[in-house]
Structure formats: C-alpha cells, structure tokens
C-alpha cells in the first residue's frame, strides 16, 4: 500500500467544540462515567457513591450475578423492528428502565435531582425521588415529569415522614415505595475510613482533597447549601434538630409490618416495597394491600452478604404470579443486565450508581447519554437474541437463560 492509499483510509473527525460533547463522545460504556466521576469528585464524595457495606461482598456479587447469566439466542427471526414500550401501574414507559432513589444527589452535581429527573422525563422513564433528597418534592414535580415515584423512609418520629406521603400525593407522584432494608444503617467501610459525615467535617486530608478538586468546590460554593430539602417545612425547633433527628430516625430498628399497614392507609396510589424481598415477605405484603415490589439490596450498601438481586427475581415472580409489578436494581449497568433482569421475570430494571456517575461527569446531558446508551445496548441484545418486544421476555423467560 502506498502512503496515498493509507491517507485515503484516514478520515479526520471534525473537531468538537463543546467540551461536554467531547467528553460524551468518549463514553461508550456506563463504567466510563465511573472513571470520569472518580477523577472529578473528591475522594470522600466518590467513595460515598461507589462504596458498599463492610467488605463489599454483596456489591460485587450483584454485578457477578447478572454477568454470570448467559443468553440463548433464537435465530432467523425478523428483528428489524424492536418495541421497548411497556406499562407499569397504568403509566406508559418508553423503555424498561427507571432511576432509583439516591440521597444527597446535589453533593455529586449542583443541579442533582432536577437534572436526573429531566433526563428521565426526556427518555420516557420513571424517576424516583429519595426521602433524603437535596431538592424538594414540589420542585421536582415542577419539572412536569408525568411519572414520578417517591421513596419513603418511615422515620421513627412519624411527624417527619407522614407529611412527605401527603406532599407526594398532592404533588401528583404516581407511586410510593417504602424502603424496608434500613432497620439499621449499613456499615459503609469507605465512609468510615474517609471520615465522611453529613454535614461534612473538615480534616487535614479533606483540605488537601479540596485543593486537588478546585472546580468541584467552586461549583459547590456557588450553589445553594446541600440540605435535607424535604424536611425544611418543619417548625424552627424541629428544624434545628432535623439533621440529627433525621439521621437517627431514618434508621428505625422498630420498623415492622404495622408500619406498612399505616402507610397503606395513608397513600391511596400504587405502593411498592423496596428491599431484598423473598416469597414469604411478598405474600404477606400482598395481603396488606401492597401493589408491587422494587427488588433491591441497596446496591450492597446495607446487609453485606445479602443475596444478589438477580437471584431473587425468579422465586419472587413464581410466588406473586404474572400480574404483580416487579422492578429490580443493584448491579444493573448494561443493556445485557437489563435483558437478564427481564428474562428472570422483572418488568423493569432500575439503576442507581450508574446514573449518579453520569450526573457527576456531565449533569443532565450525562444522564441522558447514559439512558440512550443503555437503550441502544438493550435493543442490540434483544435483536441478537431474536426478541422484538418486552412481552417475549416473559413468554420465553427461563428458556432464554442459563447460568447459576
């Protein structure tokens, strides 16, 4: 080959002017966002997102459990048109993906919850706001997202959590999910090592870290303070102790079934339980009027050695039957993971850390890019497996899979 022939093969890409777009052009897998977030965030903040409980056994097992499943493709089917639409609790979604609740989201990006919510709205997927969000229930509702979910921690002092249920109803949230794997707080080893506390405490190491991430700190200092936004409607006295009250009351060791009965009476819309739910607990929940399940082990942030969520889906589906909505999270970070979750019997897969990294890397555009990427991955996995609609996952179910 002559030099002239080689040059013909080389086509220089047009220079991209927007730095954000340049960054997004380099992101081809969700984990690329993690690498960027790791560079951009102070160590303690990155570790708060990235870390799990104790030895992080469950956190790793979550991903392995999805990765260890293998798909058995069906061939020679026309896969030119793929339909990713579906419906949950009477609301349509454009792809079977949702955003899980994450607390303190503005610590990772100043426009935190609003940006994540807008990206979800544009993609036509549900967004779940956390009890310990740094943006209020009403501000998030003002985005106009038609399918918002609210995540509830039932606080020991019901004066804190009851009004949140009423506010979510008044603001038009479509579903309420009660997190039930937090009777006590998980022991996050990285946070303990980093001395992470909320509000943050300044140690010599933190000050060095600030010096290494001036852009992060400038952004934080020029934006409103990070606080438990949804508890700001309390009286001044309650407010004064809110930080400690919320922190200690969030993890109420007396949490039990009677609490679920109370929430069921208060919230008229679809009610889910969020946790590592097994068949027996699920049957009891259905008797109490619970409508669906968000299978989750908090991304390995609560009980270390908890069973990975991929292993929970099939027995749960068998116990509750085909009509009860099941969504799953913890370890989902590719379209292949989503396909496995659906083949195991889930209706949708939700993501946690993956979108928080995308947010930290590039705000709303980052989350939008991630959702497009996951959708493209899922579509490709489906086409290569001979599947063209979500209902086929349920029909062919376990026949599509092998693995542990």
Ligand X SMILES: Cc1cc2nc3c(=O)[nH]c(=O)nc-3n(C[C@H](O)[C@H](O)[C@H](O)COP(=O)(O)O)c2cc1C
Contacting residues toward ligand X, per CB under 6 A: 49, 62, 100-103, 130, 132, 151, 179, 274, 296, 298-299, 301, 329-332, 351-354, 356
DSSP string of 213-224, one letter each residue: -HHHHHHHHTSP
CB of 21 to ligand X, least distance (A): 26
User: Rounded to whole angstroms, how far apart are CA atoms 74 and 399?
Assistant: 10
CA–CA distance, 390 with 85 (Å, rounded to integer): 8
Q: Smallest distance, Å, CB 1 to ligand X?
A: 48
User: Which of residues 136 and 388 has its CB atom nearest to ligand X in the complex?
Assistant: 136
Q: Which of 109, 298, 333, 369 is catalytic?
A: 298
Nearer to ligand X, 145 or 333 (CB): 333
Minimum Å gap between C-beta 56 and ligand X is 11
Dihedral sign from CA coordinates of 104, 107, 108, 114: positive
- Looking up tokens 């610590």, which residue turns up? 107
Residues 180 and 149: their CA atoms lie apart, in Å, by 16
Instruction: Establish how many alpha carbons lie within 13 A of residue 214's alpha carbon, considering only the half-sphere containing its beta carbon.
Output: 1
Helix (H, G, I), strand (E, B) or coil at 326: strand
List, in order, residues 6 or more apart from 106 with CB less than 8 Å away. 112, 113, 134, 135, 223, 226
Min separation Cβ 81 and ligand X, Å: 30
- Whether 298 is catalytic: yes
CA distance 299 to 301: 5
Taking the least distance from each CB to ligand X, the nearer of 344 and 387 is 344
Which residue, 97 or 141, is less far from ligand X as judged by CB?
97
In 3D space, the residue among 289, 284, 243 whose CA is nearest the CA of residue 264 turns out to be 289
State the nearest-atom distance from the C-beta of 108 to ligand X, in Å: 7
For ligand X, the closer of residues 333 and 365 by Cβ is: 333
Cis peptide bond N-terminal to 199, omega within 30: yes
Q: Which residue is nearest to ligand X (CB)?
A: 352
Active site residue ranges: 298
């Amino acid at each position: 080959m002559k030099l002239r022939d080689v040059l013909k093969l080389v086509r220089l890409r047009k220079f991209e002017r927007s730095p954000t777009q340049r960054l997004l052009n380099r992101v081809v897998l969700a984990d690329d966002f993690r690498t960027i977030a790791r560079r951009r965030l102070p160590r303690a903040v990155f570790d708060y997102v990235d870390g799990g409980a104790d030895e992080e056994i469950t956190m790793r097992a979550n991903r392995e459990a999805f990765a260890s499943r293998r798909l058995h493709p069906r061939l020679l089917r026309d896969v030119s048109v793929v339909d990713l639409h579906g419906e949950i609790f009477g609301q349509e979604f454009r792809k079977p993906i949702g955003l899980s609740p994450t607390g303190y989201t503005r610590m990772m990006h100043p426009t935190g919850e609003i940006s994540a919510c807008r990206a979800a709205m544009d993609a036509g997927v549900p967004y779940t706001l956390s009890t310990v969000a740094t943006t209020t229930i009403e501000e998030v509702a003002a985005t106009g997202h038609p399918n918002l979910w609210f995540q509830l921690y039932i606080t020991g002092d019901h004066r804190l959590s009851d009004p949140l249920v009423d506010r979510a109803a008044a603001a038009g949230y479509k579903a309420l999910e009660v997190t039930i794997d937090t009777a006590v707080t998980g022991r996050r080893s990285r946070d303990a090592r980093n001395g992470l506390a909320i509000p943050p405490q300044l140690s010599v190491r933190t000050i060095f870290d600030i010096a290494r991430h001036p852009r992060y700190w400038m952004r934080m200092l020029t934006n409103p303070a990070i606080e438990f936004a949804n508890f700001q409607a309390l009286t001044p006295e309650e407010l004064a102790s809110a930080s400690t009250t919320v922190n200690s009351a969030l993890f109420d060791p007396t949490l039990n079934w009677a609490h679920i009965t109370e929430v069921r009476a208060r919230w008229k819309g679809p009610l889910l339980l969020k946790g590592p739910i097994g068949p027996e607990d699920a049957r009891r929940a259905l008797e109490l009027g619970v409508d669906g399940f968000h299978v989750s082990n908090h991304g390995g942030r609560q009980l270390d050695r908890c069973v990975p969520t991929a292993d929970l889906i099939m027995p749960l589906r068998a116990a509750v039957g085909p009509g009860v909505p099941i969504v799953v999270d913890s370890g989902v970070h590719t379209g292949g993971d989503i396909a496995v979750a659906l083949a195991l019997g889930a209706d949708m897969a939700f993501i946690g850390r993956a979108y928080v990294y995308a947010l930290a890397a590039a705000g709303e555009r980052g989350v939008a890019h991630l959702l497009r990427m996951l959708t493209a991955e899922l579509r490709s996995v489906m086409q290569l497996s001979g599947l063209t609609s979500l209902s086929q996952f349920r029909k062919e179910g376990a026949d599509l899979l092998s693995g542990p």
